Each structure stands twice: as structure tokens, then as C-alpha cells.
Structure 1
Amino acid sequence: MFSNLQNKQFDCHGSANVDGNLSADEVYIHGEAVIKGGCDAEQFQARGEFSVGGLLNAGTIQIKLFGHCQAKEIGGERIEVKQPGRTWLKKLLFPVGLTAESIEGDEIYLEHTNAKAVRGNRVTIGPGCDIEVVEYQGEFQCNPGAKVGAYQKV
């Protein structure tokens, strides 16, 4: 268990708990991480599960869903959330997804994400998403397997 942590690189293979905020140039999560505060990085990559109690802020965010991931808010230039191929049995026994109140970025691609608001320049809502409101400036695409309550060009 760490309290506030500031480092050049944070590399988690297995599990880690940060009792406060995490700040690093590069964050790699391969397993499970719980960050009770916010997380600030240039590059954030996750393969597994994580929980961020505050803002997850990074220039580039790449999330491969292998469990349940959550952050109060997510902000970045380029945000990509994907679910790699899984067998139907794993999908049934181990549901995955990302939950956030708001997601804001320049380029956003989401799969299996639940959010109240998504705001960006180029926004793509992929399969398995449930988004209340999408606000976009440039382009918006929505997969037929996604649910979007409302969308608006701003």
C-alpha cells in the first residue's frame, strides 16, 4: 500500500493499492490497481482491472478490458477503450466494462463503457456502451449495439 505516489514510471504486474494520488510519466497496469485519489500521467495503459477515485488524466489512455474498470472522471487527448475477444463462457462468468461519470478528450473510441457524459472532437461509441449524453465538435459515430440517450454537435 502506497500513500501519494510520484514516479517516472508506475508498472503494476499483479495488484497495487495507492491510498492517495498517483503521478507518473507512464502508468502500466497488468492486473489490478486501486487508486483512491486521482491519477495523472502522460501515458496510461491498462490490461485488467482498476479503480480511480478521482480524475484519470493522461495524454494517451489505452484500456483493454479484462475486468471491471472505473474512474470518477476521465480526461485525455486520445482515449481508447476496447474489449479483446473472449469466449462466451468468460463473457458470462466475468463481465467487463468501464464506468465513469464523464469522459472528455480529443479523439475518443469506447467499447463496453457506461458514462453519463462523453465530450470530444471525434467520438466513436462502440458495442456494449450505455452513454447518457454525447457532445462532439467534429465527428460522431455510434455502433448499432450501443445505447446513446442524446447526442449533439457543439
Structure 2
Amino acid sequence: MERSNIKLIGDGFISEGEYNNIKIVGDGKSEGNIVANKVKILGDCNFDGNLDFESLKVTGDFETKGVLKCKDFKVMGNVRIDGDLICDSIKVMGDLVVKGSCKINDLVVTGEMESFYNMECNNVTIKGSLRCKESITAKHIKSYGDLNVDKNIESETITIYGEIVCNGLLNAEEVIIIPRGRCKCSEIGASTIEVTKKPKGIFKPITLFDKMGTLDCNLIEGDRIYLERSNVENIRGREIKLINKCNVGNVEYNDLLEVSDNSTVVSSSRV
């Protein structure tokens, strides 16, 4: 059976079912599960039920209660999901709140996003603000904005140019942090950990008005650790270099420890 198209201008109600394209310009409401191809929301919309869309674009206000599945999701307005989000590609240019868990392949945030539960992703790029009240698991994370996680972050690579708060363990194969503003992690564990003021690769060059921040951390543990402007209680590693303006409590190292003239270490031991 051929699926029908729906276009709402003004107030309207969408019944449970399967549709081709849905466009809502006014105030739309729905109860029940909906399957559709392309969905565009330019007005104010409230859904109650599980949703399965090929693509969803929101430039107005959208609130849904239930699971939202979508291959391509663009948030340019305000979206609130009282359920889980399962998405292949999502771009958040407006405001997105997810009160369930998130499974996302490619996530790009230039606006603001908040997740109340765990996030499982492939690639994460942040140019705005991302807040997660549980943990984030990903393959690659790049943040140029503000990343705030209440529990743990686990990824193959993590590159931060901006602000980060991780109240649990930040764990990866490679961690690079160019701190700008507030940077605080409870623990960092990786093969290579670098906190530096020198951006690399795709990261933008430093200007005279681009001031470097500091990293505060309870524990850093890894094979190769190179730090600038870091305040750390404990460091454990094979090769440790405190390059510039570091204040460290205790250091345990295997092969090498280098401390710059403007860095301090309370105690150190070779193990």
C-alpha cells in the first residue's frame, strides 16, 4: 500500500500509522506509534509514542514521549525527547534534551545538547556544549567547545580544545588537551597523554587574545605523559615530562622524569 503525505498548517492531529512525508507548519499533536520517511517540523509539535523516521528536521519546537529512531536528524529549534534516541547522523544547531539513553553514529553539536543517561557514539564533534549526566562511550571525540560529563568518558582518541569537566575516568589510547577555560578531570588514563598550549592539525592557531587555561586532575596514569599548566595530585607513568608551569604532588615513573624550572613536584620515586 502506498503511504500518504501529511501537511498540517494550523492546528492538527496525526493518527498512529505509516506515512511517506509529514510537514507540520502550525501546532501538531499525535498519539501512538508513527513510521515515516521525511518529517519536517516548523511549528509546535507534541508526539506521544514511538517514532521511526528516515529523516527529521526541526526548526520549531518538538516534544515527544517514547523512543525516537531516525537515520538523519537535524535540530535547528528546540527538541525534548522523553525516551531513548537511536540515530545514525545528528546535527544539533539548536537545543536538544534527551531524557533517555543515546545511540548515535555521528554526532555534531554546534548548539546545546543534554543527555540524562548513557551515550554510545562513533564519532563526536562538539563546537557548542554537550552535557551528559551519565557516561559517554565513543571511538573518536573532538571538542572545540564545552564538554561536561558526570561519570566516565571512554574513547579511542580524545582531543579537547576548550573546556572539559569529567567527574569520573577519562580513558583512551590518546588524549590531547589544549585547555581553554575550565578543565577538570577526576582521573585520566591513556597510552599517550598530552596537555599543551600548541594546537595541532585541524585545530585553530592561537591568537593574542586566546588565553590558555589549566587542567586540574586527581590522577593521571599512562605510558607517555607530557604536561603544561597542569595541577595534578598523583602521576604514574613510564615517561613523564612536566614541561611548563605544572604543580604535582606525587610522581611514580619507570624510565624518565623531566621537570621544568617553573614546575614543582612534592615527591617522586622510580619504580
TM bracket, shorter-chain basis: over 0.9
Do structure 1's residue 11 and structure 2's residue 125 form an aligned pair?
yes
1:55 corresponds, among 166, 169, 174, to: 169
Aligned ranges 1:104-115 → 2 under 5 Å: 104-115=221-232
Whichever residue aligns with residue 52 of structure 1, its letter is C
User: Partner residue of 1:70?
Assistant: 184
Q: CA deviation at 1:74?
A: 0.5
TM-score scaled to structure 1, two decimals? 0.92
Q: Distance in 2 between matches of 1:17 and 1:106?
A: 29
User: Partner residue of 2:254?
Assistant: 137
Q: Distance in 1 between matches of 2:224 and 2:178?
A: 17
Whichever residue aligns with residue 160 of structure 2, its letter is A
Q: CA deviation at 1:150?
A: 1.1
Q: CA deviation at 1:86?
A: 6.1
- Whether the 8 Å CA contact 1:66–1:83 is kept in 2: the answer is no
User: Partner residue of 2:217?
Assistant: 100
Which secondary structure state, in structure 1, belongs to the residue aligned with residue 235 of structure 2? Answer: strand
Q: CA deviation at 1:65?
A: 1.5
Q: Distance in 2 between matches of 1:86 and 1:127?
A: 19
Whichever residue aligns with residue 43 of structure 1, its letter is T
Whichever residue aligns with residue 126 of structure 1, its letter is I
Q: CA deviation at 1:45?
A: 0.3
Deviations 1:84-103 (A, max 9, x none): 4664x765xxx610011000
Q: CA deviation at 1:19?
A: 1.2
Q: CA deviation at 1:111?
A: 0.5
User: Partner residue of 2:151?
Assistant: 37
- Structure with bigger strand share is 1
Q: CA deviation at 1:31?
A: 0.7
Which secondary structure state, in structure 1, belongs to the residue aligned with residue 138 of structure 2? Answer: strand
Q: Distance in 1 between matches of 2:270 and 2:207?
A: 34
Matched positions, count = 150
Structure-2 change in CA distance of 1:5 and 1:109 (3 Å): same
TM-score scaled to structure 2, two decimals? 0.53
Q: CA deviation at 1:148?
A: 0.8
Whichever residue aligns with residue 148 of structure 1, its letter is V
Taking only aligned residues, the RMSD between alpha carbons, in angstroms, comes to 1.4
- Whether the 8 Å CA contact 1:77–1:105 is kept in 2: the answer is yes
Q: CA deviation at 1:127?
A: 1.1
Q: CA deviation at 1:137?
A: 0.1
Q: Distance in 1 between matches of 2:253 and 2:207?
A: 31
Q: CA deviation at 1:83?
A: 1.9
Q: Distance in 1 between matches of 2:197 and 2:126?
A: 20
Identity %: 27
Name stretches of at least 5 consecutive residues in structure 1 with no aligned partner: none
User: Partner residue of 2:81?
Assistant: none
Q: Distance in 1 between matches of 2:134 and 2:181?
A: 22
Q: Distance in 1 between matches of 2:270 and 2:119?
A: 39
